[in-house]
Amino acid sequence: MGIERPVPDWDLIVETLKVISKKTTVPTVFDFSYRKSTPFQILISTIISLRTKDSVTYASSKRLFGKAPDPVSIFKLETGTIARLIYPAGFYRRKSENIKKIAKILLDKYNGEVPKNIEDLLELPGVGRKTANLTLGLSFGIPALCVDTHVHRIPNRMGWVDTNTPDKTEFALVKILPEKYWIEINELLVAFGQTICTPVSPKCSKCPFKDNCPQIEVDKSR
Protein backbone atom coordinates (compact mmCIF):
# COMPACT_ATOMS: atom_id res chain seq x y z
CA MET A 1 0.00 0.00 0.00
CA GLY A 2 1.44 3.38 -1.04
CA ILE A 3 1.92 6.41 1.15
CA GLU A 4 -1.26 8.44 1.45
CA ARG A 5 -0.54 11.86 0.03
CA PRO A 6 -2.08 14.92 1.69
CA VAL A 7 -4.09 17.45 -0.30
CA PRO A 8 -1.82 20.52 -0.37
CA ASP A 9 -3.14 23.96 0.53
CA TRP A 10 -1.38 25.60 -2.39
CA ASP A 11 -2.26 29.17 -1.51
CA LEU A 12 -0.75 28.79 1.96
CA ILE A 13 2.26 26.89 0.66
CA VAL A 14 3.08 29.51 -1.96
CA GLU A 15 2.65 32.42 0.45
CA THR A 16 4.95 30.70 2.95
CA LEU A 17 7.55 29.99 0.26
CA LYS A 18 7.45 33.64 -0.79
CA VAL A 19 8.41 34.71 2.73
CA ILE A 20 11.40 32.35 2.63
CA SER A 21 12.35 33.47 -0.88
CA LYS A 22 12.55 37.12 0.14
CA LYS A 23 15.34 36.24 2.54
CA THR A 24 17.49 34.51 -0.07
CA THR A 25 19.56 35.53 -3.09
CA VAL A 26 17.72 35.43 -6.40
CA PRO A 27 19.00 32.64 -8.70
CA THR A 28 20.92 34.05 -11.67
CA VAL A 29 18.48 33.14 -14.45
CA PHE A 30 15.66 34.85 -12.61
CA ASP A 31 17.91 37.86 -12.07
CA PHE A 32 18.32 38.19 -15.84
CA SER A 33 14.55 37.99 -16.19
CA TYR A 34 14.01 40.74 -13.64
CA ARG A 35 16.45 42.94 -15.57
CA LYS A 36 14.10 42.71 -18.58
CA SER A 37 16.59 40.77 -20.63
CA THR A 38 15.55 39.53 -24.06
CA PRO A 39 14.07 36.04 -24.55
CA PHE A 40 17.31 35.09 -26.34
CA GLN A 41 19.43 36.15 -23.37
CA ILE A 42 17.17 34.29 -20.93
CA LEU A 43 17.38 31.15 -23.09
CA ILE A 44 21.17 31.32 -23.39
CA SER A 45 21.75 32.17 -19.71
CA THR A 46 19.57 29.18 -18.78
CA ILE A 47 21.71 26.94 -20.96
CA ILE A 48 24.87 28.33 -19.36
CA SER A 49 23.38 27.73 -15.89
CA LEU A 50 23.10 23.96 -16.33
CA ARG A 51 25.55 22.22 -13.97
CA THR A 52 26.97 25.62 -13.07
CA LYS A 53 26.95 27.73 -9.90
CA ASP A 54 24.84 30.90 -9.94
CA SER A 55 27.82 33.20 -9.48
CA VAL A 56 29.62 31.63 -12.45
CA THR A 57 26.48 31.72 -14.59
CA TYR A 58 25.99 35.41 -13.93
CA ALA A 59 29.59 36.36 -14.71
CA SER A 60 29.72 34.13 -17.81
CA SER A 61 26.42 35.42 -19.19
CA LYS A 62 27.39 39.04 -18.53
CA ARG A 63 30.69 38.61 -20.39
CA LEU A 64 28.99 36.91 -23.33
CA PHE A 65 26.15 39.41 -23.66
CA GLY A 66 28.56 42.30 -23.24
CA LYS A 67 30.31 41.09 -26.37
CA ALA A 68 27.34 39.62 -28.26
CA PRO A 69 23.82 40.28 -26.94
CA ASP A 70 21.76 38.82 -29.81
CA PRO A 71 21.71 35.90 -32.30
CA VAL A 72 23.37 37.92 -35.08
CA SER A 73 26.38 38.92 -33.00
CA ILE A 74 26.62 35.48 -31.35
CA PHE A 75 26.72 33.79 -34.76
CA LYS A 76 29.57 36.05 -35.85
CA LEU A 77 31.74 34.85 -32.96
CA GLU A 78 34.07 31.88 -33.26
CA THR A 79 33.03 28.93 -31.11
CA GLY A 80 36.34 29.22 -29.24
CA THR A 81 35.59 32.84 -28.41
CA ILE A 82 32.19 31.90 -26.99
CA ALA A 83 33.87 29.17 -24.96
CA ARG A 84 36.40 31.63 -23.51
CA LEU A 85 33.65 34.10 -22.64
CA ILE A 86 31.51 31.59 -20.75
CA TYR A 87 34.40 29.73 -19.07
CA PRO A 88 34.42 28.31 -16.35
CA ALA A 89 30.74 27.31 -16.79
CA GLY A 90 30.28 23.55 -16.68
CA PHE A 91 30.70 21.84 -20.07
CA TYR A 92 31.59 25.23 -21.54
CA ARG A 93 32.98 23.81 -24.78
CA ARG A 94 29.82 21.84 -25.56
CA LYS A 95 27.65 24.76 -24.51
CA SER A 96 29.58 27.14 -26.76
CA GLU A 97 28.93 24.86 -29.74
CA ASN A 98 25.23 24.64 -28.91
CA ILE A 99 24.93 28.40 -28.36
CA LYS A 100 26.32 29.13 -31.82
CA LYS A 101 24.10 26.45 -33.39
CA ILE A 102 21.05 27.93 -31.65
CA ALA A 103 21.88 31.39 -32.97
CA LYS A 104 22.06 30.04 -36.53
CA ILE A 105 18.79 28.10 -36.19
CA LEU A 106 16.98 31.14 -34.81
CA LEU A 107 18.28 33.29 -37.66
CA ASP A 108 17.52 30.73 -40.36
CA LYS A 109 14.18 29.45 -39.12
CA TYR A 110 12.65 32.00 -36.76
CA ASN A 111 13.82 35.39 -38.05
CA GLY A 112 16.13 35.70 -35.06
CA GLU A 113 13.33 35.25 -32.52
CA VAL A 114 13.00 32.62 -29.79
CA PRO A 115 10.02 30.34 -30.50
CA LYS A 116 7.11 30.51 -28.09
CA ASN A 117 6.22 26.83 -27.89
CA ILE A 118 7.89 23.91 -26.18
CA GLU A 119 8.01 21.68 -29.25
CA ASP A 120 10.20 24.10 -31.21
CA LEU A 121 12.35 24.92 -28.18
CA LEU A 122 13.06 21.24 -27.56
CA GLU A 123 14.42 20.91 -31.09
CA LEU A 124 17.20 23.39 -30.28
CA PRO A 125 20.55 21.76 -29.38
CA GLY A 126 21.19 21.49 -25.66
CA VAL A 127 17.63 22.45 -24.71
CA GLY A 128 15.67 20.07 -22.48
CA ARG A 129 12.29 20.43 -20.80
CA LYS A 130 13.73 22.37 -17.86
CA THR A 131 15.34 24.99 -20.09
CA ALA A 132 12.36 25.16 -22.44
CA ASN A 133 9.80 25.61 -19.67
CA LEU A 134 11.87 28.20 -17.84
CA THR A 135 12.31 30.17 -21.08
CA LEU A 136 8.58 30.08 -21.83
CA GLY A 137 7.67 31.26 -18.35
CA LEU A 138 10.30 33.94 -17.82
CA SER A 139 10.44 35.25 -21.39
CA PHE A 140 6.81 35.17 -22.44
CA GLY A 141 4.74 34.65 -19.28
CA ILE A 142 3.42 31.39 -20.74
CA PRO A 143 2.39 28.98 -17.95
CA ALA A 144 5.10 26.32 -17.91
CA LEU A 145 6.41 24.26 -15.02
CA CYS A 146 10.19 24.08 -14.82
CA VAL A 147 11.44 21.10 -12.80
CA ASP A 148 15.04 21.15 -11.63
CA THR A 149 16.66 19.10 -8.86
CA HIS A 150 14.88 21.05 -6.10
CA VAL A 151 11.46 20.96 -7.75
CA HIS A 152 11.90 17.21 -8.24
CA ARG A 153 13.20 16.44 -4.75
CA ILE A 154 10.95 18.58 -2.55
CA PRO A 155 7.48 17.53 -3.84
CA ASN A 156 8.55 13.88 -3.48
CA ARG A 157 9.98 14.47 0.00
CA MET A 158 6.80 16.26 1.07
CA GLY A 159 4.56 13.58 -0.41
CA TRP A 160 2.85 15.73 -3.02
CA VAL A 161 3.96 13.38 -5.79
CA ASP A 162 5.58 9.96 -6.09
CA THR A 163 7.93 10.07 -9.07
CA ASN A 164 11.47 9.01 -9.96
CA THR A 165 12.46 11.48 -12.71
CA PRO A 166 12.14 15.26 -13.17
CA ASP A 167 9.99 14.79 -16.29
CA LYS A 168 7.55 12.57 -14.39
CA THR A 169 7.50 15.13 -11.58
CA GLU A 170 6.59 17.85 -14.08
CA PHE A 171 3.66 15.88 -15.46
CA ALA A 172 2.49 14.92 -11.95
CA LEU A 173 2.68 18.50 -10.63
CA VAL A 174 0.81 19.85 -13.65
CA LYS A 175 -2.15 17.73 -12.56
CA ILE A 176 -2.31 19.05 -8.99
CA LEU A 177 -0.66 22.50 -8.90
CA PRO A 178 -2.89 25.41 -9.98
CA GLU A 179 -1.67 26.86 -13.28
CA LYS A 180 -1.31 30.32 -11.77
CA TYR A 181 1.67 29.02 -9.78
CA TRP A 182 3.48 27.12 -12.53
CA ILE A 183 5.93 29.89 -13.42
CA GLU A 184 6.91 31.02 -9.93
CA ILE A 185 7.06 27.63 -8.18
CA ASN A 186 10.54 26.94 -9.54
CA GLU A 187 12.11 30.06 -8.08
CA LEU A 188 10.30 29.54 -4.77
CA LEU A 189 11.30 25.90 -4.37
CA VAL A 190 14.88 26.64 -5.41
CA ALA A 191 15.14 29.20 -2.60
CA PHE A 192 13.50 26.76 -0.17
CA GLY A 193 15.73 23.91 -1.32
CA GLN A 194 18.91 25.94 -0.99
CA THR A 195 18.19 27.17 2.53
CA ILE A 196 15.90 24.75 4.40
CA CYS A 197 14.90 21.63 2.46
CA THR A 198 18.46 20.91 1.40
CA PRO A 199 19.42 17.65 -0.37
CA VAL A 200 21.51 16.45 2.59
CA SER A 201 20.70 17.14 6.24
CA PRO A 202 17.56 19.25 5.63
CA LYS A 203 16.77 21.71 8.41
CA CYS A 204 13.46 20.06 9.28
CA SER A 205 13.29 21.66 12.74
CA LYS A 206 13.22 25.11 11.09
CA CYS A 207 10.78 24.14 8.34
CA PRO A 208 7.37 25.85 8.39
CA PHE A 209 5.87 22.68 6.86
CA LYS A 210 7.32 20.22 9.39
CA ASP A 211 3.96 19.36 10.97
CA ASN A 212 2.51 18.23 7.66
CA CYS A 213 5.58 16.81 5.93
CA PRO A 214 6.07 13.00 5.90
CA GLN A 215 9.84 13.55 5.36
CA ILE A 216 9.98 10.79 2.75
CA GLU A 217 13.49 9.33 2.40
CA VAL A 218 14.92 11.83 4.87
CA ASP A 219 17.62 10.33 7.09
CA LYS A 220 16.09 10.91 10.52
CA SER A 221 19.02 9.37 12.36
CA ARG A 222 21.08 12.56 12.05
pLDDT tens digits along 187-214? 999 999 999 999 999 999 999 999 999 9
Nearest-5° angle of CA 150, CA 95, CA 39?
A: 70
pLDDT category at 69 given cuts 50, 70, 90 is very high
pLDDT category at 36 given cuts 50, 70, 90 is confident
Evaluate if residue 74 carries a pLDDT over 90. yes
Q: Can you give the pLDDT at residue 133? A: 97
Please tell me the distance from the alpha carbon of residue 143 to that of residue 85, in angstroms, as a whole number: 32
For 195-198, which contacts have Cβ atoms below 8 Å and span 24 or more sequence positions? 195/20, 195/23, 195/24, 196/20, 197/150, 197/153, 197/154, 197/157
Q: Can you give the pLDDT at residue 139? A: 93
pLDDT tens digits along 93-152? 999 999 999 999 999 999 999 999 999 999 999 999 999 999 999 999 999 999 999 999
Q: Can you give the pLDDT at residue 1? A: 43
pLDDT category at 31 given cuts 50, 70, 90 is confident
Mean pLDDT computed over every residue of the chain: 92
pTM across the whole model: 0.90
Q: Can you give the pLDDT at residue 34? A: 62
Q: When comparing pLDDT for 92 and 217, which is higher?
A: 92
Please name each of the domains of the chain with its CATH number: 10-25+145-206 (1.10.1670.10), 37-140 (1.10.340.30)
